[in-house]
A = this chain, B = another copy of it.
Amino acid sequence: MIEEVWYMQKFLLLNGPNLNFLGKREPEIYGTTTLSELEESIIKVGQQLGVEVECFQSNVEGEIINRIYKAYEDGVEGIIINPGGYTHTSIAIHDCVSSVLIPVIEVHISNIHAREEFRHKSIISSATAGQIIGFGIYGYELALQALINILKGE
């Protein structure tokens, strides 16, 4: 749809702890797609929608924060984040998300509200633009569309 080759919005796809293991175990919860397959697929969908998607995964809370500040420095305009287990504990990521001006969308592959009690509450949500939860890896694609929609609205 968008053809302006000389300029492309940059997005960041950020996956948190244990998502490196995606598709390798517990397929009944997370499906069988691996992280690199997921990243490739989102990059491709991004290309179709006219945005460039960079991908990053880390198990280290502080590296996720570092990567968000790097994105800010690089002029990234939107972030999709699946904070994994840090969703429920990280005030530091919350503060980072709320201090950069970039819209951030929180994605969860599984329906966290149908799992253990300690997964129901997200510390990060209040700092994000919105959340997409429970749609498997398709949720990342929805997030991409949502980001584009938000940026159009600005």
Partner of A96, one of B17, B96, B126, B146: B17
Q: Pick the contact of A146: B61, B113, B135 (CB < 8 A).
A: B135
A86 located at the interface, meaning its Cβ lies under 8 Å from any Cβ of chain B in the complex: yes
Are the C-beta atoms of B131 and A113 separated by less than 8 Å? yes
A101-B25 in contact given A95-B84, A135-B150, A146-B135 (Cβ < 8 Å): yes
Output the nearest chain B residue to A113 by Cβ-Cβ distance.
B125
Which chain B positions have C-beta within 8 A of A132? 130-133, 142
CA distance A20 to B63 in the complex (A): 13
Interface on chain A toward B: helix, strand, loop, or mixed SS? Answer: helix
Question: Chain B contacts of A123 at CB under 8 A?
Answer: 118
Contact at A85–B89, with CB atoms within 8 Å?
no
Among B16, B62, B126, B127, which residue has its beta carbon within 8 angstroms of that of A17?
A: B62
Number of identical monomers bound together in the oligomeric complex = 12
Which of A24, A91, A95, A101 gathers the greatest number of chain B CB atoms within 10 Å?
A: A91
Q: Any chain B CB within 8 A of the CB of A56?
A: no
Q: Chain B residues near A41 (CB, 8 Å)?
A: none
23 A-B residue pairs with Cβ-Cβ distance under 8 Å, sorted by A, are A16-B92, A18-B65, A18-B92, A18-B95, A18-B99, A21-B96, A59-B66, A60-B61, A60-B66, A62-B63, A85-B93, A86-B92, A87-B91, A91-B118, A91-B119, A111-B126, A113-B125, A118-B123, A128-B134, A130-B132, A130-B133, A131-B131, A135-B150
